[in-house]
Amino acid sequence: MPTSFFTTPGRFHRGNLHTHSTASDGVLSPKEVCRRYQAEGYDFIALTDHFVGLFDYPITDTTDFHNDRFTTIHGAELHTGSMENGGLWHVLAIGLPDDFTPPNAPHFNAIKGSETGASLAQRARDAGAFVTIAHPHWSGMSEADAKSITAAHAVEIYNHGCAVDNDRGEGFMTLEHLLNSGRQINLIATDDAHFNTPDFFGGWVMVKATENNPDALLAALKAGEYYASTGPEINDIRVFSDRIEVDCSSAATIIVQGKGTSMATLHGKSMTTANLALDCLAASPWIRITVIDRAGKRAWSNPVWL
């Protein structure tokens, strides 16, 4: 029997999980950020302002901007210091409670002897948050750094702001180091929008949930009921013992990737379904699917453990 995905009740909701406002170093007010995302067709966002003392450790209240077509999830980009390269930790915490105890992070410089990134991530997860390792390439994160964050639900594998501003927006190597060590971890794509450069509306998640409200969305994120995208849609994935079937929006390339260099690839024109043999991926403990359209835009499934 096949393993089929996205069969839970509900529909897909488009959301951005990494956004900043004037509550930290963004240039637009929280209200205007929410207005622009709704006008662009998003169903929800998480405002994740920088959780440092410089900005009075904000967990930005966006409840006044909910309506019958748009919602928000409270969250923050957490910081503490430092990673192996001396840089500050950046950890996204979506669904963070308003009374979360701040670390010793008065500014954007690492404080010697402050809380570890692993401890801060674990506290956020224990408090109910969906925890993600943020922009590992941009941060210069080592493999050891990434492996220390055992509380993470996901890795940010595409950060549009980092891609636009310095071409360091990907996190696939970090993701696959963790997968290859046996860590069952998912992936997200985001904007990291500050609205001071063209860093918006470039990466998002499509979350399958029965309702567009914070609780339902957060539960679906934690359950992995979503995929990440910069454009294409993934409608279904069906895994059989010897093959995988993918239903998607019009695609030029569909790839099934696994551990190491193992892969199965199908090229075509305006493909909306694909059937790929898993022979060359038989030794891989996990696979993930990439859908690429004619414009080079991509969508990525969460890893599937075989």
Domain CATH for 273: 2.60.40.10
On whether residue 5 sits in a domain, the answer given is no
Query: What does the alpha-carbon distance between residue 52 and residue 168 come to, in Å, rounded to a whole number?
Result: 24
Q: Based on the domain organization, do 81 and 209 belong to the same domain?
A: yes
pLDDT tens over the chain, length 306 residues: 356 678 888 999 999 999 999 999 999 999 999 999 999 999 999 999 999 999 999 999 999 999 999 999 999 999 998 999 999 999 999 999 999 999 999 999 988 889 999 999 999 999 999 999 999 999 999 999 999 999 999 999 999 999 999 999 999 999 999 999 999 999 999 999 999 999 999 999 999 999 999 999 999 999 999 999 999 999 999 999 899 999 999 999 999 999 999 999 999 999 999 999 999 999 999 999 999 999 999 999 999 998
Residue 19 near residue 46 (C-beta atoms within 8 A)? yes
Q: Based on the domain organization, do 220 and 248 belong to the same domain?
A: no
On whether residue 190 sits in a domain, the answer given is yes
Residue 133 near residue 110 (C-beta atoms within 8 A)? no
Overall number of domains in the chain: 2
Q: Based on the domain organization, do 195 and 217 belong to the same domain?
A: yes
Is the bond leading into 82 cis (omega within 30 degrees of zero)? Answer: yes
Domain range for residue 92? 10-229
Q: Based on the domain organization, do 141 and 246 belong to the same domain?
A: no
Final residue belonging to a domain, choices 229, 246, 264: 229
Confidence (pLDDT) at 8: 84
Query: What does the alpha-carbon distance between residue 142 and residue 198 come to, in Å, rounded to a whole number?
Result: 28
Confidence (pLDDT) at 1: 36
